[in-house]
């Protein structure tokens, strides 16, 4: 099913003359690949620049939750269908080509060739003034199938007759980038790992914010620029150094990488698929690209698009930006159900399920025959002398164990038996957020191989009924964190389920005691 574009007047490039004396160019832009990692982050940057943005998507529903959904024109269509492309490029000034097959099945090169040809021909016929393509860094000579295909796509676009800039980037660093996620998961899960000998090849990573800088600036390049340009960050590493750089930023020990000459790309992709959530279909092209050095051949880009005013982002800083939200306790931007979008390195709702920091949750819900205010009173008075409403022996043992390993244990109690404030110590928890009457979040301060939170949400159902939602959240650190979670999961089934039920029964009991019984 294809949706037709409503008639839209042509927006040719127009100059706006502000009093400051600068001359920003505002244009009508088409973004293909807006449901992908880079495209989803590029769109808001283009909107910030004042451009009018149209996106082409085969499955527009995948954009329903992105924060810029209502600020763009969304067109349903397929790049393999010439009529869809023709409608999409109508009245467009700049076309961003951000699509590439990550499948290794069949003759994907032919599909890529066909799509690039259709797009280049229709863009030329529609009078598009600029194509911006994002390809991959590569050396000269024989390339892997995927790198070779990406280069060919760039060549087709450059020969289209439409002024084209083909930006060629290496590993993009940011939460949600497939290459970065592979680094993240492998490093966090395995303290030591076998790897092909080509993990010693050189890599020049680039932060997602710098990729977006070059993409945005490419829209307004003069027409005479029609060429490929390498882009990269300030650091050049071997792939093994990328993994250990991540480990240091994530607070993990340096990983032991065993380079094995017999580990082929196919075997390596099976290994990655086994120990990480990265699909094998993605692991194959990523690993194949590592067969070559991915380093800038020149810095011609500097004469065309200067680096950001603050300078290019180093690798360790780019990793830090991908992790900083989790470290600061701003966990909303790291959980999969978020709609809060901040830095370009933050997750988007359209990112794949395996993107972002690994998070484990235990959720419980109970309906309580008591008003919300009674239930909230139980929630806010939890801990200290009031206890944790389930298996007190287990909680006492956990507190003792925490003290033995140098933690705070359960002896801190609480400041007030009934009221909490943000920042209050609560046994081995800390009050991180409270919306009195409805929501409480506690951050764990016991010794753990990771970060943990405990949330309570109280929702009125009717005058004398309410609902309690209880959620434990754990961000594991390394393999130890994952093993810890799976080891305690059976106990969670008893402790957390019992806690929610007991809190509900306590609220019901308090309500029953203060409501007089009347004869019928």
How many degrees, rounded to 5, is the angle at CA 266 between CA 262 and CA 267?
Answer: 50
Split at pLDDT 50, 70, 90, the class of 12 is very low
Split at pLDDT 50, 70, 90, the class of 163 is very high
Average pLDDT of the chain? 82
pLDDT of 178 over the 50 cut: yes
What's residue 337's pLDDT? 32
- Quickly tell me which residue has 């750089």 as its tokens: 245
Render pLDDT for 429-450 as a digit per residue (tens, 0 to 9).
Answer: 889 889 999 999 999 888 888 8
Distance from C-alpha of 276 to C-alpha of 182, rounded to nearest angstrom: 7
Count other Cβ atoms within 10 Å, centred on residue 311: 9
What's residue 285's pLDDT? 74
CB 393 within 8 A of CB 401: no
What's residue 35's pLDDT? 87
Share of the chain above pLDDT 70, in %: 83
Split at pLDDT 50, 70, 90, the class of 470 is very high
The kind and range of the H/E element at 514 are helix 478-514
More confident residue, 343 or 309: 309
Q: At what angle do helices 145-158 and 280-289 cross, to 10 degrees?
A: 80
Q: How many residues does the chain have?
A: 520
pLDDT of 267 over the 80 cut: no
Name the DSSP class of 294. Answer: B
Distance from C-alpha of 138 to C-alpha of 231, rounded to nearest angstrom: 11
Q: Which residues contact 420 (CB under 8 A, 6 or more apart)?
A: 380, 414, 426, 431, 434, 440
What's residue 354's pLDDT? 47
Distance from C-alpha of 58 to C-alpha of 33, rounded to nearest angstrom: 10
Cβ neighbourhood burial of 197 (10 Å; 0-12, 13-18, 19+): exposed
**Kind of pairing, strands 256-260 and 192-196?**
parallel
What's residue 225's pLDDT? 96
What domains does the chain contain, in order, with CATH numbers? 14-334 (3.40.50.720), 360-513 (3.30.530.20)
What's residue 157's pLDDT? 97
Render pLDDT for 15-51 as a digit per residue (tens, 0 to 9).
Answer: 333 333 344 578 999 999 998 889 999 999 999 999 9
What's residue 518's pLDDT? 54
Tell me which residue of 471, 516, 450, 473 sits closest to 379, measured CA to CA. Answer: 471
What is the pLDDT averaged over residues 173-198? 80
What is the pLDDT averaged over residues 293-319? 94
What's residue 121's pLDDT? 97
- Quickly tell me which residue has 């009529």 as its tokens: 83
Q: How far is CA 504 from CA 332, 381, 418, 513, in A?
A: 27, 13, 17, 14
Render pLDDT for 200-215 as a digit per residue (tens, 0 to 9).
Answer: 788 899 999 999 999 9
CB 420 within 8 A of CB 434: yes
What is the pLDDT averaged over residues 382-407? 80
Q: How far is CA 343 from CA 31, 174, 351, in A?
A: 20, 10, 15
What's residue 105's pLDDT? 55
Distance from C-alpha of 199 to C-alpha of 195, rounded to nearest angstrom: 7
More confident residue, 486 or 282: 486
Distance from C-alpha of 519 to C-alpha of 494, rounded to nearest angstrom: 39
Beta strands in 354-408 (DSSP E): 360-368
Render pLDDT for 320-377 as a digit per residue (tens, 0 to 9).
Answer: 888 864 444 443 323 333 333 344 444 454 455 545 567 788 999 999 999 999 999 9
Distance from C-alpha of 283 to C-alpha of 254, rounded to nearest angstrom: 23
What's residue 309's pLDDT? 93
To the nearest 10°, report the CA torsion of 333, 336, 339, 341: 40
More confident residue, 269 or 108: 108
């Amino acid at each position: 099913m294809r949706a037709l574009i409503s008639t839209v007047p042509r927006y040719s490039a127009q100059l706006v003359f502000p009093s400051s004396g600068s001359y920003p160019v505002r244009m009508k832009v088409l973004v293909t690949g807006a449901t992908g990692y880079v495209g989803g982050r590029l769109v808001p940057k283009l909107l910030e620049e004042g451009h009018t943005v149209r996106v082409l998507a085969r499955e527009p529903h995948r954009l329903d939750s992105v924060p810029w959904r209502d600020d763009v024109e969304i067109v349903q269509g397929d790049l393999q269908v010439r009529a869809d492309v023709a409608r999409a490029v109508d009245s467009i000034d700049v076309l961003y080509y951000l699509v590439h097959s990550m499948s290794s099945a069949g003759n994907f090169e032919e599909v890529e060739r066909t799509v690039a040809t259709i797009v280049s021909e229709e863009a030329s016929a529609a009078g598009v003034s600029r194509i911006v393509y994002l390809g991959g860094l590569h050396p000269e000579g024989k390339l892997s199938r995927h790198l070779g295909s990406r280069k060919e796509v760039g060549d087709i676009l450059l020969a289209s007759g439409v002024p084209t800039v083909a930006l060629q980037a290496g590993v993009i660093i940011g939460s949600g980038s497939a290459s970065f996620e592979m680094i993240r998961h492998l490093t966090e899960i395995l303290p030591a790992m076998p790897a092909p000998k080509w993990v010693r090849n050189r890599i020049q990573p680039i932060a997602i914010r710098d990729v977006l800088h070059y993409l945005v600036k490419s829209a307004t390049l003069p027409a005479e620029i029609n060429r490929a340009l390498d882009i990269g960050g300030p650091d050049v590493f071997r792939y093994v150094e990328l993994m250990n750089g991540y480990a240091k930023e994530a607070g993990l020990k340096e990983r032991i990488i065993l380079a094995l000459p017999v580990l082929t790309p196919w075997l390596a992709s099976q290994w990655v698929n086994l120990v990480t959530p990265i699909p094998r279909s993605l692991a194959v092209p990523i690993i194949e690209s590592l067969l070559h050095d991915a380093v800038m051949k020149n810095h011609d880009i500097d004469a065309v698009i200067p680096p950001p005013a603050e300078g290019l982002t180093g690798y360790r800083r780019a990793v830090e930006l991908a992790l900083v939200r989790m470290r600061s306790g701003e966990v909303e931007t790291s959980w999969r159900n978020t709609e809060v979008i901040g830095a370009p390195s933050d997750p988007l709702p359209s990112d794949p399920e395996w993107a972002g920091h690994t998070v484990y949750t235990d959720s419980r819900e109970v309906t309580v025959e008591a008003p919300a205010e009674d239930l909230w009173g139980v929630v806010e008075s939890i801990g200290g002398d009031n206890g944790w409403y389930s298996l007190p022996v287990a909680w006492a043992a956990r507190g003792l164990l925490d003290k033995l390993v140098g933690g705070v244990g359960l002896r801190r109690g609480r400041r007030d038996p009934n009221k909490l404030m943000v920042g209050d110590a609560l046994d081995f928890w800390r009050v991180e957020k409270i919306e009195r009457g409805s929501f409480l979040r506690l951050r764990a301060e016991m010794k753990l191989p990771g970060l943990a939170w405990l949330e309570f949400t109280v929702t009125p159902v009717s005058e004398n009924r309410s609902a309690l939602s209880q959620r434990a959240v754990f961000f594991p650190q390394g393999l130890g964190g994952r093993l810890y979670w799976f080891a305690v999961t059976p106990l969670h089934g008893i402790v957390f389920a019992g806690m929610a039920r007991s809190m509900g029964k306590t609220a019901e009991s308090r309500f029953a005691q203060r409501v007089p019984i009347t004869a019928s």
